[in-house]
Amino acid sequence: MILVGVMIATLWGIGWVMGAPVRARLIMIGILMAGVMIIQLTLPQGHPLREATGSDPRLWLLLVAFAVAVWLYRRGLLWLRDRARPAPDEPASKTGTFGAAELSRYARQIVLREIGGPGQKALKDAKVLIVGAGGLGSPALQYLAGAGLGTIGVIDDDVVDGSNLARQVIHLDARIGDPKVFSAADAIRAQNPFVEVRPYNRRLTEEIATDLIAEYDLVLDGSDNFATRYMVNRVSARLGKPLIAAALTQWEGQISVYDPASGTPCYECVFPEAPDPALVPTCAEAGVLGPLPGVVGAIMAVEAIKAITGAGEGLRGRLMIYDALYAETRTIAVRPRADCPICGHSAPV
């Protein structure tokens, strides 16, 4: 009996040292026990081998029965746990079809005639890049994630500052000092686990812009400087990607969809020259109303959804200006310029 116990311990120890899976070790011990049982049941009483492996087969039968009972109990528990766990929606989500939880989440939007099932599917399949996780990027990100946009990339090299929180409501007080894209990505994952969010904690430079923008179907520019706006416009126009760009000052915001591939102007057609930086006060100098980026960023999300689903009339060829102080909205027509260095006839091909 002691001999068999030592053999079991040795088999287990060898398996452990070799890193063999538990299942393999149990099979080896099972074979050993089967051998012991054969010896006990076939050899006559008093045989030295039978004596060495324990004299009474009933003791072994009891031990084996106990081991089988423990195994069956464990299997039963696992089976019950699997039955109690609801089927996850995640795999269905990855294959491009909607699970029940997703359908219920987007039900109010799917009911809209202009969106419907095909529009919701187009949103799920779409990839949008958001430049800037600040005032405009944050609400655009939140509403696009809420609406079921499949893949959202967000690029920014800034960290959350206490002075951001009055308007960049995606970021929490506890995240001050953290990179904005990671704070935003965590918020989006908590908001909608069906959305794939890709944070890029770096500045969008000319070197990486082409490769990055090429991965996406649509670009939303909520950056806070003219150099980035012109560069995003240049690269998006070259790649034929529609660009939704917005900007804010104090009480006023403006937004348009720039899509020269569809015969409408690019950003540089409408704003051919960046104003002298000395004459343009920054948000920090001029101030900005807290909810204003929320309004204009949400319009960016609306225009993105329309561009992806083909619903309604987008802001291609139109510039929308929202004046919060006087509660007025104006929309003016904008035209492509033949001499635009980016999209005009003289533009380099």
Provide the 8-state DSSP code for 112: S
Interaction of residue 209 with Zn ion, rule CB under 5 A: no
Residue closer to Zn ion (CB basis): 222 or 260: 260
- Least Å from the CB of residue 218 to Zn ion: 18
Structure tokens at 55: 């004299």
Interaction of residue 343 with Zn ion, rule CB under 5 A: yes
Place of tokens 């260095």: 341
- Least Å from the CB of residue 260 to Zn ion: 6
CA distance 343 to 214: 18
Q: Are strands 218-221 and 127-131 parallel, antiparallel or unpaired?
A: parallel
Count of residues interacting with Zn ion (CB under 5 A): 6
Residue closer to Zn ion (CB basis): 12 or 230: 230
**Residue (of 106, 113, 185) closest to 148 by Cα position:** 106
- Least Å from the CB of residue 229 to Zn ion: 13
- Least Å from the CB of residue 338 to Zn ion: 9
- Least Å from the CB of residue 202 to Zn ion: 27
Residue closer to Zn ion (CB basis): 25 or 229: 229
- Least Å from the CB of residue 168 to Zn ion: 30
Provide the 8-state DSSP code for 254: E
For the segment 137-166, give every residue that binds Zn ion (CB under 5 A): none
- Least Å from the CB of residue 310 to Zn ion: 23
CA distance 218 to 210: 13
Residue 253's DSSP bridge partners are 248, 322
Residue closer to Zn ion (CB basis): 224 or 268: 268
- Least Å from the CB of residue 157 to Zn ion: 27
- Least Å from the CB of residue 341 to Zn ion: 8
Residue closer to Zn ion (CB basis): 138 or 236: 236
Angle at 323 between CA 279 and CA 228, to 5 degrees: 45
Instruction: Print burial letters for 284-313: b (CB count within 10 Å at least 16), e (below 16).
Output: eeeebbeebbbebbbbbbbbbbbbbbebee
Site string for Zn ion, 303-342 (x = CB under 5 A): -------------------------------------x-x
Burial class of residue 83 in the structure, from the number of CB atoms within 10 Å of its CB (0-12 exposed, 13-18 middle, 19+ buried)? exposed
DSSP 3-state of 16: helix
Residue closer to Zn ion (CB basis): 136 or 342: 342
Structure tokens at 159: 């960290």
CA distance 36 to 55: 11
Structure tokens at 99: 């699970």
Residue closer to Zn ion (CB basis): 204 or 340: 340
Site string for Zn ion, 229-268 (x = CB under 5 A): -------------------------------------x-x
Site string for Zn ion, 264-303 (x = CB under 5 A): --x-xx----------------------------------
Residue 200's DSSP bridge partners are 155
CA distance 8 to 160: 60
Residue closer to Zn ion (CB basis): 171 or 337: 337
DSSP secondary structure letters along 200-227: E-S---HHHHHHHHHT-SEEEE--SSHH
Residue closer to Zn ion (CB basis): 181 or 343: 343
Binding site for Zn ion (CB under 5 A): 266, 268-269, 340, 342-343
